[in-house]
Amino acid sequence: MTPDLLPLLAGFGFGLSLIVAIGAQNAFVLRQGLLRTHVLAVVAVCALSDALLILLGIGGAGIVFTALPWLTTVVRIGGAAFLLGYAVLAARRAVRPKALDADEPRVSAGLLPTLLTALALTWLNPHVYLDTVVLLGSVANTHGDARWPFGAGAALGSIVWFTALGYGARLLQPVFARPAAWRILDAIIAVVMAGIAASLLLGL
């Protein structure tokens, strides 16, 4: 095993450990995958955003958030407001669910609104900065000259995860042929979004 492969694998595993959890980003990618709408674009936005944040973290951008605590507060409030709004929309969908019928045309949001939502769920969530810029960046820098292979491994983990989540969601389509399944999913999404928003407002 080459010397660069070890930090690459370490970064891959560490990145997955941070990203594989129920959160705003993952819930949105899962829903888009189930709807089969703009999946590639959403996966690309989320994966590339993570890669950029990891790059910033390794480059030392975490110092900025440490030096300017007000910046974290601004992002926290903005993110909480957006997540609460999304939670309300998800709760509304839970009240009036629709089955996923492959033979019936589905009305979905356009590409631009979908991409803006994906960007907002990523860049307006301070937890993302804590995970990628601060935590992952700090761990990567402990690897010295191997920090870039470590970061590349973490970015690769994001690509693999979002691709698997977005395109693997279609395997669940038989389950989501029933309105009740959508009601449960959107109810969970609403709770997750509201919970993250509450934690941001409480400063957790």
DSSP string, 48-108: HHHHHHHHHHHTTTHHHHHH-HHHHHHHHHHHHHHHHHHHHHHHHHHHS-----TTS----
What ranges do the domains of the chain cover? 5-201
Cβ(169)–Cβ(30) below 8 Å: yes
Torsion of CA 98, 33, 111, 85, to 10 degrees: 60
Q: Which contiguous run of DSSP H or E holds residue 157?
A: helix 147-168
pLDDT of residue 52 exceeding 80, the answer is yes
pLDDT of residue 104 exceeding 90, the answer is no
**pLDDT, mean of residues 140-164:** 88
For the record, the structure tokens of 107 come out as 């009305």
For the record, the structure tokens of 120 come out as 């907002």
As a whole number of Å, the CA-based R_g of the chain is 18
pLDDT of residue 21 exceeding 70, the answer is no
Contacts of 63 (CB under 8 A, 6+ apart): none
Out of 31-35, 41-45, 172-176, give the one with best mean pLDDT. 41-45
The residue that leads in pLDDT, 17 or 101, is: 17
Gap between the Cα atoms of 131 and 54, Å rounded = 9
pLDDT of residue 29 exceeding 50, the answer is yes
